[in-house]
Structure 1
Amino acid sequence: MDHIHSDAIIAIAAASNSKELTQKIFGDTIGWLPWKKPGYELGLWLEDFCLRNPDAKGVVLESHGLFCWDDDAETCYATTLNTINRAIAWFEEQTADIPALAGEKHPTLSAAERHRVATALMPAIRGMISGDSHKVDHFDDQDAVLQFVGAQDMPRLAALGPSCPDHFLRTKIRPLVVDFDPANPDIDATIAGLTEMVGAYRADYTAYYERCKHDNSPTIRDPNAVVYLVPGVGMITSAKEKATAQISGEF
Protein backbone atom coordinates (compact mmCIF):
# COMPACT_ATOMS: atom_id res chain seq x y z
CA MET A 1 0.00 0.00 0.00
CA ASP A 2 1.20 3.51 -0.87
CA HIS A 3 0.05 6.80 0.64
CA ILE A 4 1.02 10.08 -1.03
CA HIS A 5 0.17 13.81 -1.14
CA SER A 6 1.37 14.74 -4.63
CA ASP A 7 0.38 18.15 -5.98
CA ALA A 8 -1.94 16.86 -8.70
CA ILE A 9 -3.76 14.60 -6.26
CA ILE A 10 -4.10 17.36 -3.66
CA ALA A 11 -5.57 19.61 -6.36
CA ILE A 12 -8.33 17.03 -6.71
CA ALA A 13 -8.67 16.17 -3.03
CA ALA A 14 -8.95 19.81 -1.92
CA ALA A 15 -11.38 20.91 -4.65
CA SER A 16 -14.94 21.83 -3.72
CA ASN A 17 -16.14 19.17 -6.18
CA SER A 18 -13.51 16.64 -5.16
CA LYS A 19 -15.81 13.62 -5.36
CA GLU A 20 -17.04 14.50 -8.85
CA LEU A 21 -13.51 15.18 -10.11
CA THR A 22 -12.29 11.84 -8.78
CA GLN A 23 -15.04 10.00 -10.63
CA LYS A 24 -14.50 12.01 -13.83
CA ILE A 25 -10.73 11.45 -13.94
CA PHE A 26 -10.40 7.90 -12.62
CA GLY A 27 -13.78 6.25 -13.05
CA ASP A 28 -14.32 3.31 -10.72
CA THR A 29 -10.62 2.46 -10.48
CA ILE A 30 -10.01 5.05 -7.76
CA GLY A 31 -12.68 5.75 -5.17
CA TRP A 32 -13.31 8.69 -2.85
CA LEU A 33 -13.87 9.17 0.87
CA PRO A 34 -14.84 12.37 2.70
CA TRP A 35 -12.48 14.12 5.09
CA LYS A 36 -11.72 12.23 8.27
CA LYS A 37 -8.99 13.01 10.77
CA PRO A 38 -6.22 10.40 10.38
CA GLY A 39 -6.52 7.65 12.93
CA TYR A 40 -8.13 4.33 13.72
CA GLU A 41 -11.59 5.29 12.46
CA LEU A 42 -10.19 6.33 9.09
CA GLY A 43 -8.56 2.91 8.90
CA LEU A 44 -11.97 1.31 9.43
CA TRP A 45 -13.41 3.49 6.66
CA LEU A 46 -10.68 2.30 4.31
CA GLU A 47 -11.32 -1.32 5.22
CA ASP A 48 -15.02 -0.89 4.55
CA PHE A 49 -14.31 0.79 1.22
CA CYS A 50 -12.06 -2.09 0.12
CA LEU A 51 -14.66 -4.68 1.07
CA ARG A 52 -17.38 -2.83 -0.84
CA ASN A 53 -15.18 -2.07 -3.87
CA PRO A 54 -12.99 -5.15 -4.47
CA ASP A 55 -11.94 -4.01 -7.96
CA ALA A 56 -10.76 -0.56 -6.89
CA LYS A 57 -7.03 0.12 -6.81
CA GLY A 58 -7.07 3.18 -4.59
CA VAL A 59 -9.03 5.96 -2.96
CA VAL A 60 -8.75 9.74 -2.83
CA LEU A 61 -9.21 11.13 0.68
CA GLU A 62 -10.91 14.52 0.65
CA SER A 63 -8.50 17.35 1.58
CA HIS A 64 -5.83 14.77 2.37
CA GLY A 65 -4.25 12.60 -0.31
CA LEU A 66 -4.29 9.20 -2.00
CA PHE A 67 -4.03 5.56 -0.98
CA CYS A 68 -3.22 2.93 -3.61
CA TRP A 69 -2.83 -0.81 -3.17
CA ASP A 70 -2.03 -3.98 -5.08
CA ASP A 71 -0.76 -7.52 -4.55
CA ASP A 72 2.93 -6.60 -4.44
CA ALA A 73 5.03 -3.51 -3.80
CA GLU A 74 6.23 -3.03 -7.38
CA THR A 75 2.75 -3.22 -8.88
CA CYS A 76 1.40 -0.94 -6.18
CA TYR A 77 4.13 1.60 -6.93
CA ALA A 78 3.28 1.47 -10.63
CA THR A 79 -0.40 1.97 -9.81
CA THR A 80 0.44 5.00 -7.69
CA LEU A 81 2.58 6.58 -10.42
CA ASN A 82 -0.06 5.88 -13.05
CA THR A 83 -2.74 7.49 -10.88
CA ILE A 84 -0.64 10.60 -10.32
CA ASN A 85 0.24 10.85 -14.01
CA ARG A 86 -3.41 10.50 -15.02
CA ALA A 87 -4.25 13.41 -12.74
CA ILE A 88 -1.39 15.51 -14.15
CA ALA A 89 -2.43 14.75 -17.74
CA TRP A 90 -6.04 15.69 -17.01
CA PHE A 91 -5.07 19.03 -15.48
CA GLU A 92 -2.66 19.79 -18.33
CA GLU A 93 -5.43 19.16 -20.84
CA GLN A 94 -7.91 21.32 -18.95
CA THR A 95 -5.49 24.23 -18.52
CA ALA A 96 -3.62 24.07 -21.84
CA ASP A 97 -4.73 27.56 -22.94
CA ILE A 98 -4.75 29.21 -19.51
CA PRO A 99 -1.66 31.11 -18.26
CA ALA A 100 -0.27 29.36 -15.20
CA LEU A 101 -1.00 31.21 -11.96
CA ALA A 102 -2.62 34.07 -13.95
CA GLY A 103 0.68 34.87 -15.69
CA GLU A 104 3.92 36.51 -14.69
CA LYS A 105 4.03 39.60 -12.47
CA HIS A 106 7.70 39.80 -11.49
CA PRO A 107 10.73 39.11 -13.69
CA THR A 108 13.15 36.39 -12.67
CA LEU A 109 16.61 37.65 -11.83
CA SER A 110 19.73 35.99 -13.22
CA ALA A 111 21.15 33.05 -11.27
CA ALA A 112 24.05 35.13 -9.99
CA GLU A 113 21.75 37.93 -8.85
CA ARG A 114 19.32 35.49 -7.23
CA HIS A 115 22.12 33.96 -5.21
CA ARG A 116 23.42 37.40 -4.24
CA VAL A 117 20.01 38.41 -2.91
CA ALA A 118 19.49 35.10 -1.11
CA THR A 119 22.95 35.32 0.44
CA ALA A 120 22.03 38.70 1.89
CA LEU A 121 18.55 37.75 3.07
CA MET A 122 19.26 34.39 4.68
CA PRO A 123 21.50 35.56 7.55
CA ALA A 124 19.19 38.51 8.16
CA ILE A 125 16.18 36.20 8.47
CA ARG A 126 18.10 33.76 10.67
CA GLY A 127 19.06 36.58 12.99
CA MET A 128 15.43 37.58 13.41
CA ILE A 129 14.03 34.10 14.06
CA SER A 130 16.80 32.40 16.05
CA GLY A 131 15.97 33.86 19.44
CA ASP A 132 14.87 30.55 20.96
CA SER A 133 16.88 28.14 18.81
CA HIS A 134 19.48 28.33 16.08
CA LYS A 135 18.23 27.95 12.50
CA VAL A 136 19.72 26.62 9.27
CA ASP A 137 18.44 27.73 5.87
CA HIS A 138 17.85 26.09 2.52
CA PHE A 139 17.51 28.01 -0.75
CA ASP A 140 15.54 26.75 -3.75
CA ASP A 141 15.35 28.52 -7.11
CA GLN A 142 14.29 25.69 -9.38
CA ASP A 143 12.03 26.61 -12.29
CA ALA A 144 8.75 25.65 -10.60
CA VAL A 145 9.60 27.80 -7.58
CA LEU A 146 10.56 30.78 -9.75
CA GLN A 147 7.35 30.48 -11.73
CA PHE A 148 5.32 30.57 -8.53
CA VAL A 149 7.12 33.41 -6.73
CA GLY A 150 6.94 35.57 -9.85
CA ALA A 151 3.29 34.93 -10.62
CA GLN A 152 0.33 37.28 -10.47
CA ASP A 153 -1.55 34.85 -8.24
CA MET A 154 1.32 34.15 -5.84
CA PRO A 155 0.25 36.49 -2.98
CA ARG A 156 -3.34 35.25 -3.04
CA LEU A 157 -2.38 31.58 -3.18
CA ALA A 158 0.40 31.92 -0.62
CA ALA A 159 -2.07 33.41 1.85
CA LEU A 160 -4.23 30.30 1.54
CA GLY A 161 -1.42 28.06 2.75
CA PRO A 162 -1.07 24.34 2.02
CA SER A 163 -4.14 22.44 0.85
CA CYS A 164 -3.16 19.32 2.78
CA PRO A 165 -3.30 19.48 6.60
CA ASP A 166 -0.38 17.04 6.84
CA HIS A 167 1.88 19.68 5.34
CA PHE A 168 1.22 22.16 8.15
CA LEU A 169 3.61 20.20 10.34
CA ARG A 170 6.45 21.10 7.98
CA THR A 171 5.44 24.45 6.53
CA LYS A 172 3.21 26.21 9.10
CA ILE A 173 -0.17 27.46 7.95
CA ARG A 174 1.25 29.75 5.26
CA PRO A 175 4.55 31.14 3.96
CA LEU A 176 5.85 34.65 4.53
CA VAL A 177 5.99 36.64 1.29
CA VAL A 178 9.03 38.92 1.40
CA ASP A 179 8.43 42.47 0.17
CA PHE A 180 11.04 42.51 -2.61
CA ASP A 181 10.73 43.98 -6.10
CA PRO A 182 13.11 42.26 -8.53
CA ALA A 183 12.52 45.02 -11.09
CA ASN A 184 13.95 47.54 -8.61
CA PRO A 185 16.03 45.42 -6.22
CA ASP A 186 16.86 47.18 -2.97
CA ILE A 187 18.22 44.59 -0.55
CA ASP A 188 18.87 47.09 2.24
CA ALA A 189 15.28 48.32 2.16
CA THR A 190 14.00 44.75 2.06
CA ILE A 191 16.06 43.74 5.09
CA ALA A 192 14.94 46.87 6.93
CA GLY A 193 11.32 45.90 6.33
CA LEU A 194 11.81 42.28 7.35
CA THR A 195 11.67 43.04 11.07
CA GLU A 196 8.09 44.25 10.79
CA MET A 197 7.09 41.39 8.47
CA VAL A 198 8.59 38.74 10.74
CA GLY A 199 6.93 40.28 13.79
CA ALA A 200 3.57 40.44 12.03
CA TYR A 201 3.86 36.78 11.05
CA ARG A 202 4.62 35.77 14.64
CA ALA A 203 1.64 37.74 15.92
CA ASP A 204 -0.64 36.22 13.28
CA TYR A 205 0.51 32.68 14.06
CA THR A 206 0.06 33.22 17.80
CA ALA A 207 -3.45 34.53 17.22
CA TYR A 208 -4.20 31.50 15.03
CA TYR A 209 -3.03 29.19 17.81
CA GLU A 210 -5.12 30.97 20.43
CA ARG A 211 -8.23 30.77 18.23
CA CYS A 212 -7.87 27.09 17.49
CA LYS A 213 -6.36 25.53 20.62
CA HIS A 214 -8.20 23.09 22.86
CA ASP A 215 -7.66 22.22 26.50
CA ASN A 216 -5.45 19.29 25.50
CA SER A 217 -3.56 21.08 22.71
CA PRO A 218 0.25 21.00 22.82
CA THR A 219 2.14 24.16 23.67
CA ILE A 220 2.46 26.61 20.80
CA ARG A 221 5.34 25.82 18.47
CA ASP A 222 7.93 28.31 17.28
CA PRO A 223 5.68 31.04 15.80
CA ASN A 224 8.18 32.09 13.13
CA ALA A 225 7.62 31.35 9.47
CA VAL A 226 9.34 28.32 7.97
CA VAL A 227 8.90 29.27 4.30
CA TYR A 228 9.92 32.65 2.83
CA LEU A 229 8.94 33.46 -0.76
CA VAL A 230 11.03 36.09 -2.54
CA PRO A 231 9.66 37.37 -5.89
CA GLY A 232 12.12 36.92 -8.74
CA VAL A 233 14.57 35.12 -6.45
CA GLY A 234 13.17 31.88 -5.03
CA MET A 235 12.24 30.24 -1.76
CA ILE A 236 14.09 30.20 1.56
CA THR A 237 13.16 27.64 4.21
CA SER A 238 14.44 27.64 7.78
CA ALA A 239 14.61 24.90 10.41
CA LYS A 240 16.86 23.56 13.14
CA GLU A 241 18.68 21.24 10.73
CA LYS A 242 19.57 21.49 7.05
CA ALA A 243 17.68 18.32 6.13
CA THR A 244 14.50 19.56 7.81
CA ALA A 245 14.77 22.92 6.06
CA GLN A 246 15.15 21.18 2.70
CA ILE A 247 12.24 18.81 3.33
CA SER A 248 10.03 21.75 4.33
CA GLY A 249 10.76 23.32 0.96
CA GLU A 250 9.89 20.11 -0.83
CA PHE A 251 6.51 20.12 0.86
Structure 2
Amino acid sequence: MLSLTNLESWYGRSRALNGISLEVPEGKITGIAGRNGTGKTTLLKTIMGLTDSAKGVVRLGGRDISAAPTHMRARAGIAYVPQGRGIIPDFTVRENIVMGGFANRAGKRAVPEIVPELFPYLAENMDRRGGLLSGGQQQQLAIARALAAEPDVVLLDEPNEGIQPSIVEDIEKVILRMSRDFGLTVILVEQNIGFLRRAASRFAMLEKGAVVEGGDISGLTDAVVDRHMTI
Protein backbone atom coordinates (compact mmCIF):
# COMPACT_ATOMS: atom_id res chain seq x y z
CA MET A 1 0.00 0.00 0.00
CA LEU A 2 2.67 2.52 1.06
CA SER A 3 6.32 2.18 0.11
CA LEU A 4 9.18 4.44 1.25
CA THR A 5 12.58 4.20 -0.42
CA ASN A 6 15.75 6.00 0.78
CA LEU A 7 13.71 8.76 2.39
CA GLU A 8 15.68 11.77 3.61
CA SER A 9 14.22 14.94 5.06
CA TRP A 10 15.43 18.34 6.24
CA TYR A 11 14.35 21.22 8.45
CA GLY A 12 16.37 24.07 7.02
CA ARG A 13 19.93 22.74 6.79
CA SER A 14 19.40 20.12 9.48
CA ARG A 15 18.84 16.59 8.18
CA ALA A 16 16.23 14.72 10.22
CA LEU A 17 15.80 11.46 8.27
CA ASN A 18 18.69 9.41 6.94
CA GLY A 19 17.69 7.06 4.14
CA ILE A 20 14.61 5.37 5.55
CA SER A 21 13.16 2.51 3.49
CA LEU A 22 9.93 0.92 4.69
CA GLU A 23 7.19 -1.27 3.26
CA VAL A 24 3.80 -0.68 4.89
CA PRO A 25 1.39 -3.59 4.27
CA GLU A 26 -2.15 -2.88 3.17
CA GLY A 27 -4.89 -3.11 5.79
CA LYS A 28 -2.44 -3.59 8.65
CA ILE A 29 -0.99 -1.47 11.45
CA THR A 30 2.71 -0.68 11.26
CA GLY A 31 4.20 0.61 14.50
CA ILE A 32 6.96 3.22 14.69
CA ALA A 33 8.96 3.32 17.93
CA GLY A 34 12.04 5.05 19.29
CA ARG A 35 13.22 7.59 21.82
CA ASN A 36 12.11 11.22 21.62
CA GLY A 37 13.90 13.10 18.88
CA THR A 38 14.71 10.10 16.70
CA GLY A 39 12.60 11.20 13.73
CA LYS A 40 9.23 9.52 14.31
CA THR A 41 7.12 12.64 13.86
CA THR A 42 9.37 13.81 11.02
CA LEU A 43 8.74 10.52 9.22
CA LEU A 44 4.98 11.12 9.25
CA LYS A 45 5.41 14.76 8.21
CA THR A 46 7.69 13.71 5.36
CA ILE A 47 5.12 11.22 4.11
CA MET A 48 2.64 14.12 4.07
CA GLY A 49 5.11 16.53 2.42
CA LEU A 50 5.29 18.83 5.44
CA THR A 51 9.05 19.23 5.93
CA ASP A 52 11.23 21.91 4.33
CA SER A 53 12.68 19.50 1.77
CA ALA A 54 12.95 15.77 1.17
CA LYS A 55 14.59 13.20 -1.08
CA GLY A 56 13.69 9.62 -1.83
CA VAL A 57 10.55 7.96 -3.14
CA VAL A 58 7.08 7.75 -1.60
CA ARG A 59 4.72 5.39 -3.41
CA LEU A 60 1.05 4.97 -2.57
CA GLY A 61 -0.58 1.96 -4.20
CA GLY A 62 2.31 1.83 -6.68
CA ARG A 63 1.92 5.50 -7.64
CA ASP A 64 4.89 7.79 -7.07
CA ILE A 65 3.68 10.79 -5.04
CA SER A 66 7.14 12.04 -4.03
CA ALA A 67 6.69 15.35 -5.85
CA ALA A 68 3.04 15.87 -4.87
CA PRO A 69 2.17 18.76 -2.53
CA THR A 70 0.51 18.02 0.80
CA HIS A 71 -3.07 18.62 -0.34
CA MET A 72 -2.64 16.22 -3.25
CA ARG A 73 -1.24 13.54 -0.95
CA ALA A 74 -4.34 13.97 1.20
CA ARG A 75 -6.53 13.71 -1.90
CA ALA A 76 -4.61 10.59 -2.92
CA GLY A 77 -5.80 8.88 0.26
CA ILE A 78 -3.45 9.71 3.14
CA ALA A 79 -4.89 11.21 6.34
CA TYR A 80 -2.73 12.62 9.15
CA VAL A 81 -3.65 12.91 12.83
CA PRO A 82 -0.83 15.05 14.25
CA GLN A 83 0.63 15.12 17.70
CA GLY A 84 -1.33 17.76 19.59
CA ARG A 85 -4.47 16.94 17.56
CA GLY A 86 -4.71 20.27 15.68
CA ILE A 87 -8.46 20.72 16.01
CA ILE A 88 -9.97 24.22 15.58
CA PRO A 89 -11.26 25.21 19.04
CA ASP A 90 -13.86 27.72 17.81
CA PHE A 91 -15.39 25.23 15.35
CA THR A 92 -18.09 22.86 16.52
CA VAL A 93 -17.52 19.13 16.60
CA ARG A 94 -19.52 18.85 13.36
CA GLU A 95 -17.55 21.63 11.65
CA ASN A 96 -14.22 20.11 12.65
CA ILE A 97 -15.21 16.71 11.26
CA VAL A 98 -16.67 18.08 8.03
CA MET A 99 -13.45 20.05 7.49
CA GLY A 100 -11.74 16.70 6.95
CA GLY A 101 -14.09 16.09 4.04
CA PHE A 102 -12.27 18.65 1.90
CA ALA A 103 -9.76 15.88 1.16
CA ASN A 104 -12.52 13.41 0.33
CA ARG A 105 -12.00 12.07 -3.19
CA ALA A 106 -15.75 11.64 -3.72
CA GLY A 107 -16.43 15.23 -2.72
CA LYS A 108 -18.37 14.31 0.43
CA ARG A 109 -18.66 17.06 3.03
CA ALA A 110 -20.41 15.22 5.83
CA VAL A 111 -19.92 13.42 9.12
CA PRO A 112 -19.07 9.79 8.23
CA GLU A 113 -21.69 7.22 9.14
CA ILE A 114 -19.15 5.32 11.23
CA VAL A 115 -18.59 8.25 13.62
CA PRO A 116 -21.62 7.56 15.88
CA GLU A 117 -20.53 3.94 16.12
CA LEU A 118 -16.91 4.72 16.93
CA PHE A 119 -17.38 7.93 18.93
CA PRO A 120 -20.77 8.06 20.70
CA TYR A 121 -19.81 11.15 22.70
CA LEU A 122 -19.05 13.14 19.54
CA ALA A 123 -22.32 12.05 17.96
CA GLU A 124 -24.19 13.35 20.99
CA ASN A 125 -22.33 16.69 21.06
CA MET A 126 -22.10 17.77 17.42
CA ASP A 127 -22.84 21.42 18.24
CA ARG A 128 -20.32 21.66 21.09
CA ARG A 129 -17.23 23.72 20.34
CA GLY A 130 -14.04 21.73 19.94
CA GLY A 131 -12.15 23.85 22.46
CA LEU A 132 -14.55 22.78 25.22
CA LEU A 133 -13.74 19.08 24.84
CA SER A 134 -11.26 17.26 27.05
CA GLY A 135 -7.91 16.21 25.60
CA GLY A 136 -9.12 12.67 25.00
CA GLN A 137 -12.32 13.87 23.34
CA GLN A 138 -10.29 16.19 21.11
CA GLN A 139 -8.17 13.22 20.08
CA GLN A 140 -11.31 11.33 19.15
CA LEU A 141 -12.40 14.38 17.18
CA ALA A 142 -9.08 14.53 15.32
CA ILE A 143 -9.43 10.88 14.31
CA ALA A 144 -13.04 11.40 13.24
CA ARG A 145 -11.94 14.37 11.11
CA ALA A 146 -9.32 12.18 9.40
CA LEU A 147 -11.94 9.52 8.68
CA ALA A 148 -14.15 12.11 6.95
CA ALA A 149 -11.67 12.02 4.07
CA GLU A 150 -12.37 8.29 3.62
CA PRO A 151 -8.62 7.63 3.39
CA ASP A 152 -6.72 4.48 2.54
CA VAL A 153 -3.85 5.26 4.91
CA VAL A 154 -4.01 6.94 8.32
CA LEU A 155 -0.92 8.35 10.03
CA LEU A 156 -1.32 8.55 13.82
CA ASP A 157 1.26 10.44 15.88
CA GLU A 158 1.17 9.29 19.52
CA PRO A 159 -2.63 9.31 19.78
CA ASN A 160 -2.57 8.31 23.47
CA GLU A 161 -0.11 10.97 24.63
CA GLY A 162 -1.50 13.04 27.50
CA ILE A 163 -4.91 11.35 27.34
CA GLN A 164 -6.87 10.49 30.46
CA PRO A 165 -6.83 6.73 31.18
CA SER A 166 -10.61 6.46 30.85
CA ILE A 167 -10.40 7.39 27.16
CA VAL A 168 -7.09 5.70 26.24
CA GLU A 169 -8.79 2.30 26.07
CA ASP A 170 -11.54 3.69 23.83
CA ILE A 171 -8.99 5.20 21.44
CA GLU A 172 -7.00 1.97 21.32
CA LYS A 173 -10.15 0.03 20.43
CA VAL A 174 -10.90 2.49 17.60
CA ILE A 175 -7.37 2.14 16.19
CA LEU A 176 -7.69 -1.65 16.20
CA ARG A 177 -11.06 -1.45 14.45
CA MET A 178 -9.73 0.93 11.80
CA SER A 179 -7.53 -1.90 10.56
CA ARG A 180 -9.53 -5.00 11.51
CA ASP A 181 -13.06 -3.87 10.61
CA PHE A 182 -12.54 -1.10 8.04
CA GLY A 183 -9.42 -2.33 6.26
CA LEU A 184 -7.44 0.88 6.70
CA THR A 185 -3.66 0.90 6.52
CA VAL A 186 -2.29 2.56 9.65
CA ILE A 187 1.14 3.90 10.58
CA LEU A 188 1.14 4.32 14.35
CA VAL A 189 3.80 6.27 16.21
CA GLU A 190 3.47 5.10 19.80
CA GLN A 191 5.61 5.00 22.94
CA ASN A 192 3.40 2.41 24.61
CA ILE A 193 5.22 -0.76 23.59
CA GLY A 194 2.50 -2.98 25.04
CA PHE A 195 -0.09 -1.43 22.76
CA LEU A 196 2.22 -1.61 19.75
CA ARG A 197 2.67 -5.33 20.34
CA ARG A 198 -1.10 -5.84 20.58
CA ALA A 199 -2.02 -3.69 17.61
CA ALA A 200 0.74 -3.80 14.99
CA SER A 201 1.73 -6.55 12.58
CA ARG A 202 5.09 -4.95 11.76
CA PHE A 203 7.35 -2.34 13.35
CA ALA A 204 10.29 -0.06 12.70
CA MET A 205 12.57 1.22 15.45
CA LEU A 206 14.14 4.61 14.69
CA GLU A 207 17.40 6.04 15.95
CA LYS A 208 19.07 9.21 14.65
CA GLY A 209 16.62 9.38 11.76
CA ALA A 210 17.25 5.85 10.53
CA VAL A 211 15.62 2.43 10.91
CA VAL A 212 17.85 0.36 13.20
CA GLU A 213 15.49 -2.58 13.82
CA GLY A 214 12.30 -3.72 12.12
CA GLY A 215 10.17 -6.46 10.65
CA ASP A 216 7.47 -8.66 12.09
CA ILE A 217 6.09 -7.40 15.41
CA SER A 218 7.39 -10.55 17.10
CA GLY A 219 10.84 -8.99 16.70
CA LEU A 220 9.95 -6.10 19.02
CA THR A 221 11.47 -7.92 21.97
CA ASP A 222 12.38 -6.57 25.40
CA ALA A 223 16.03 -6.67 24.33
CA VAL A 224 15.29 -4.45 21.30
CA VAL A 225 13.32 -2.01 23.46
CA ASP A 226 16.06 -1.90 26.09
CA ARG A 227 18.73 -1.34 23.46
CA HIS A 228 17.02 1.53 21.68
CA MET A 229 14.55 3.11 24.10
CA THR A 230 15.98 2.78 27.61
CA ILE A 231 17.61 6.01 28.75
Give yes or no for TM over 0.5. no
Q: Which has the higher helix share?
A: 1
Q: Which has the higher contact order (CA 8 A, sep 6+)?
A: 2
Return the TM-score normalized by structure 1: 0.22
Q: Larger Rg: 1 or 2?
A: 1
Q: Which has the higher strand share?
A: 2
